[in-house]
Amino acid sequence: MAIFFIKIIVSCLCLLLTALPCAAQEKQCSPENSPPLLNLRLGMSPEQTQSILGKALKIKVKKKGQHTFFQNFIEKRPPSALNGVRALYLRFFDRSLYQIEIFYEEDSNAKTNEYFVASLSSQLNFPVSSWQIEKGKATIICGEFSIVADKILNLHIEMTDETIRAKVEELREKSKK
């Protein structure tokens, strides 16, 4: 009888220890826990975003629906919060930041996409092995959000809340009909 209870306890411990990394991964892979890009995180309000970027950029977002903020720094220097950035897209839906897209200035050290991915892995706290690299594009799908990085024109990274992107796509398709 005692052996039976020991087996049950050991089985429960094994299940618990197996489930803990999955629970940690799920928590890490929610949009709210996405890694910051330029101190911006998915799910931020326009006001929170504005406070990060400073007064030099004016972010105006409607109360409902989709809104895209775009700024390039081809002919003028970026504010200090965006040092090294060539262009920035921020996409909001119902006043929630659901996509951050950044094009960086050319970096002579980042000669390959693999180097760029290694640098991003360190910065974003994801193992290099988490990236799927195909045709010059590196992708991480982490629960409800994705990160895509490439070096096709300039160094480029895009982080997206996939749940909201799907909703935006669905609404876009409905409005076409």
**Model confidence pLDDT, tens digit, residues 97-133:** 999 999 998 775 666 777 788 888 888 888 888 899 8
Overall domain count for the chain: 1
Cα–Cα nearest to 98, from 8, 167, 3, 172: 167
Residue 8 within any structural domain of the chain? no
**pTM of the full predicted structure?**
0.79
What are the structure tokens assigned to 33, written together? 């826990």
Structural domain boundaries, residue 60: 34-176
Region label for 38, one of left (φ > 0), alpha (ψ between -120 and 50) or beta (otherwise) = left
Residue 137 within any structural domain of the chain? yes
Residue 21 within any structural domain of the chain? no
Q: What confidence tens digit (pLDDT) does each residue in 60-98 have?
A: 887 788 889 999 998 888 888 888 899 999 999 999 999
Query: Measured between alpha carbons, how far is 95 from 48 in angstroms, rounded to an integer?
Result: 11
